[in-house]
C-alpha cells in the first residue's frame, strides 16, 4: 500500500476511534461520518492550493449537485467535516500540517479573496463591496506607514475601523459592513485568528424608520414617469414589493398570470420566493412582453438573442440562453457587447438608468420626502399592513428571514394612524356640543 494511502487509513481509523471515545455521534452514524471525511480528503487532494474552508465549501457544493445525494446527507457530511477539522485535528498535536503562507503581494491577496467569495457563493454586489473595503484598508496601511511586504495585523484593522468612525464619520451600518468584509479577509486569506476582535466594541445602529409614501404620493410619482417601460417597472416594484435587483433580474418565465404570482429567483440571501402579481398590470405586462418577444425574434434573425445565464445552468442547458422564457423581462433597447465573453447580447435595464428616471419623477411630483425605488417596497409593506394583512404573510411576500425585520412597519403604521385625541379636548368638545345643542 502506498505511504499516502497508508497514512490516510491511519488518520481515518484514529478519527473513528475519536468519535467513539468522545461520544460525538451514535455508533451507527460514526462509520458514515468517517466515510464523509474519507471522501472529502480524497477530493481535497486534487485541490492542494485551497484552504480547508475553501475545499470544504467546494466539496459540499459538488455534493449537493449529485442527484443521488439527499439534503440530509449533505448536512451530515458538513457536520463530519467540522468535527474532523475543528475538534479532531485541533486536539491532535502534529496531525495538521502548517497552513500554506498567504500570497505575498496585495494583488495576489485580492485574487485569493475573490476566489473565497465565489466559493462561498456571495452575490456579485457583495463581492464588489467586500473587495472595495479590502482595497481601501490596504491603501490606509500605506498612508499610515505600513510596509506592503508585511502582513496586515489586528492592530492595523482596529486603527482602520477607528478612523472610519472618528475621521471619516461613516454610519454604523457602513462600519459594520467594513468589519464583516475584513473579518472574512483576515480569516480566510491571511489565516489570522481575530477572535479577540469579537470582544471589541462594535458600532451599533440606532432605531431607524423607513421612508414611506402615502398611496396618493405613490400615485403622484408613478404618473410623472414618462417612459412607459419605466412606469410599468415602478408599478410592478410597488405592486409586488420587489427590491430593485429582483425587479431587474426578472425573466419572462417568472410571471404566472394564471395564479397571479411573480417568481423571484435568487433574491437576497440566494433565496427564491413568490409575491403577488397585481391584476391591474396584466394587460400592460402582456403588451410589454409581446414587444420584448418581437425584439428577441429580431435578435435571433441577426444571429444574436442569447441572454446571460448562470454558469451551472448554461452547462446543463446549452441552448437555454436563446430560448424565449429565459429572456430578461425588462431588457435594454440596444444590443451591447458582453465584456466577459465578447458575445453581443441584450442585457437587462441598467440600475442607474431606471433610478435616474424615478428620481426625476419624484422631483416633478414635488414631494417633501426623500424617495428612492426602494421606498416603493417600504410603501408596499406599510399599505398592506394598514389594510389588515397578517404580518407573517407580509414577511413571506417581502422575503424577510425574521419577522422582527418586518415588524418595523408596524411603527410606521402607528405614525400614519390618526393622532390621539387628548381627553381634555374630548371634554371641551363635549361641553361645546352640549352648549350648541
**pLDDT per residue over 234-253, tens digit each?**
999 999 999 999 999 999 99
Indicate if 67 and 136 belong to the same structural domain.
no
Q: What pLDDT does 316 receive?
A: 79
Establish whether 377 is a catalytic residue.
yes
Question: Which residues lie below 8 Å from residue 97, measured CB to CB, with a gap of 6+?
Answer: none
DSSP state of 328: B
Q: What is the pLDDT of residues 368-414, one digit of tens each?
A: 888 999 999 999 999 999 988 999 999 999 999 888 888 888 877 76
- How far is residue 384 CA from its own chain's centroid? 25
Closest C-alpha to 189, from 45, 41, 53, 89: 53
Position 103 confidence tier, pLDDT thresholds 50, 70, 90:
low
378 and 354, same structural domain?
yes
CA distance 277 to 219: 18
Q: Can you give the C-alpha Rg of the chain in angstroms?
A: 28
Q: Is the pLDDT of residue 168 over 80?
A: no
Decide if 243 is catalytic. yes
Can 345 be counted among the known catalytic residues? no
- The answer to whether residue 409 is catalytic is yes
Set 243, 296, 348, 378: catalytic member: 243
Across the range 121-143, mean pLDDT stands at 88
Q: Are 85 and 225 part of one and the same domain?
A: no
Specify whether 46 is located in the same domain as 136.
Answer: no
Residues 6+ apart with CB under 8 A from 27: 20
User: Which residue out of 348, 377, 378, 383 is catalytically annotated?
Assistant: 377
Last residue of a domain, one of 61, 91, 121: 91
Structure confidence at residue 329 (pLDDT) = 96
pLDDT reading at 97 higher than 50: no
Closest to 364 (Cα-Cα) out of 233, 236, 231, 225 = 225
What pLDDT shows up at residue 81?
85
- Cell readout for 343 is 458575445
What is the value of pTM for the model shown? 0.64
User: Residue 307, Cα to own-chain centre: how many angstroms?
Assistant: 22
Is residue 209 domain-resident?
Answer: no
Whether residue 108 is predicted with pLDDT greater than 90 in this model: the reply is: no
What is the pLDDT of the chain when averaged over all its residues? 83
| Bridge partner list, 262 | 255, 275
pLDDT at 207: 64
Answer yes or no: is pLDDT of 148 > 70. Answer: no
Residue 164 and residue 258 in one domain: no
Within this chain, do residues 125 and 260 fall inside the same structural domain, yes or no?
no
pLDDT for res 136 = 93
Instruction: Specify whether 178 is located in the same domain as 310.
Output: no
The active-site residue, picked from 18, 59, 130, 409, is 409
Residues 80 and 138 in one domain: no
**CB contact set of 197 (below 8 Å; sequence gap of 6+):** 154, 157, 158, 179, 183
Q: Which pLDDT value is given to residue 104? A: 66
Lowest mean pLDDT across 1-10, 184-193, 238-247: 1-10
Q: Is 113 in contact with 132 (CB distance < 8 Å)? A: no
Residues in the chain: 437
Do 31 and 62 lie in one domain? The reply is: yes
φ, ψ of residue 313 in degrees (nearest 5) = -75, -40
Residue 288: Cβ within 10 Å count: 18
- Identify the residue with better confidence: 100 or 303: 303
Pick 25 or 133 by higher pLDDT: 133
Q: What angle do CA 277, 281, 286 make, to 5 degrees?
A: 100
pLDDT of residue 17: 85
pLDDT interval class at 435 (50, 70, 90): low
Q: Are residues 332 and 195 in the same domain?
A: no
Q: Give me the residues paired with residue 344 across strands.
A: 337
State the number of CA atoms in the 13 A half-sphere of 308 facing the CB.
Answer: 19
Task: Based on the fold, state whether residues 241 and 355 are members of the same structural domain.
Answer: yes
Whole-number pLDDT of residue 404? 84
Indicate if 400 belongs to the active site. yes
What integer pLDDT is reported at residue 360 of this predicted model? Answer: 95
Among 268, 273, 360, 364, the one annotated catalytic: 268
Residues 128 and 257 in one domain: no
| Least confidently predicted of 80-89, 260-269, 321-330 | 80-89
CA dihedral 107, 108, 109, 110 (to 10 degrees): 50
Residue 240 to residue 278: CA distance in whole angstroms: 7
Residue 270 lies in a domain: yes
Instruction: Quote the domain boundaries for residue 67.
Output: 3-91
Number of domains in the chain: 3
Amino acid at each position: 500500500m502506498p505511504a499516502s494511502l497508508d497514512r490516510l487509513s491511519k488518520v481515518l481509523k484514529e478519527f473513528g476511534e475519536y468519535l467513539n471515545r468522545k461520544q460525538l455521534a451514535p455508533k451507527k452514524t460514526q462509520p458514515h461520518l468517517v466515510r464523509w471525511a474519507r471522501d472529502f480528503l480524497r477530493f481535497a487532494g486534487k485541490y492542494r492550493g485551497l484552504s480547508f474552508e475553501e475545499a470544504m465549501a467546494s466539496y459540499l457544493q459538488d455534493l449537493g449537485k449529485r442527484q443521488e445525494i439527499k439534503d440530509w446527507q449533505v448536512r451530515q457530511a458538513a457536520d463530519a467535516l467540522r468535527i474532523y477539522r475543528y475538534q479532531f485535528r485541533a486536539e491532535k498535536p502534529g496531525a495538521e500540517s502548517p497552513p500554506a503562507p498567504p500570497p505575498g503581494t496585495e494583488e495576489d491577496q485580492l485574487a485569493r479573496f475573490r476566489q473565497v467569495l465565489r466559493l462561498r457563493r456571495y452575490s456579485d454586489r457583495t463581492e464588489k463591496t467586500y473587495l472595495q473595503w479590502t482595497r481601501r484598508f490596504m491603501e490606509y496601511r500605506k498612508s499610515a506607514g505600513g510596509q506592503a511586504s508585511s502582513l496586515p495585523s489586528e492592530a492595523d484593522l482596529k486603527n482602520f475601523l477607528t478612523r472610519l468612525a472618528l475621521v471619516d464619520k461613516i454610519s454604523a451600518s457602513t462600519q459594520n459592513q467594513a468589519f464583516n468584509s475584513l473579518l472574512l479577509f483576515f480569516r480566510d486569506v491571511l489565516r489570522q485568528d481575530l477572535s479577540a476582535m469579537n470582544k471589541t466594541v462594535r458600532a451599533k445602529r440606532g432605531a431607524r424608520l423607513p421612508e414611506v409614501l402615502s398611496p396618493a404620493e405613490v400615485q403622484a410619482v408613478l404618473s410623472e414617469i414618462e417612459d412607459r417601460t419605466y412606469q410599468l417597472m415602478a408599478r410592478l416594484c410597488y405592486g409586488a414589493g420587489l427590491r430593485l435587483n429582483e425587479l431587474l433580474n426578472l425573466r419572462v418565465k417568472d410571471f404566472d398570470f394564471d395564479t397571479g404570482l411573480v417568481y423571484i429567483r435568487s433574491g437576497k440571501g440566494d433565496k427564491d420566493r413568490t409575491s403577488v402579481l397585481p391584476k391591474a398590470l396584466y394587460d400592460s405586462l402582456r403588451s410589454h412582453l409581446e414587444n420584448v418577444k418581437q425584439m428577441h425574434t429580431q435578435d435571433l434573425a441577426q444571429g444574436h438573442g442569447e441572454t446571460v445565464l448562470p454558469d451551472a445552468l448554461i452547462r446543463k442547458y446549452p441552448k437555454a440562453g436563446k430560448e424565449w422564457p429565459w429572456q430578461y423581462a425588462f431588457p435594454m433597447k440596444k444590443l451591447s457587447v458582453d465584456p466577459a465573453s465578447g458575445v453581443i447580447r441584450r442585457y437587462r435595464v441598467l440600475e442607474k438608468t431606471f433610478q435616474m428616471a424615478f428620481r426625476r419623477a419624484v422631483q416633478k411630483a414635488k414631494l417633501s420626502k426623500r424617495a428612492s425605488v426602494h421606498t416603493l417596497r417600504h410603501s408596499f409593506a406599510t399599505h398592506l399592513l394598514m389594510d389588515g394583512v397578517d404580518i407573517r404573510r407580509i414577511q413571506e411576500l417581502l422575503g424577510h428571514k425574521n419577522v422582527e425585520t418586518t415588524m418595523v412597519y408596524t411603527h410606521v403604521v402607528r405614525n400614519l394612524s390618526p393622532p390621539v385625541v387628548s381627553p381634555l379636548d374630548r371634554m371641551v368638545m363635549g361641553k361645546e356640543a352640549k352648549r350648541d345643542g
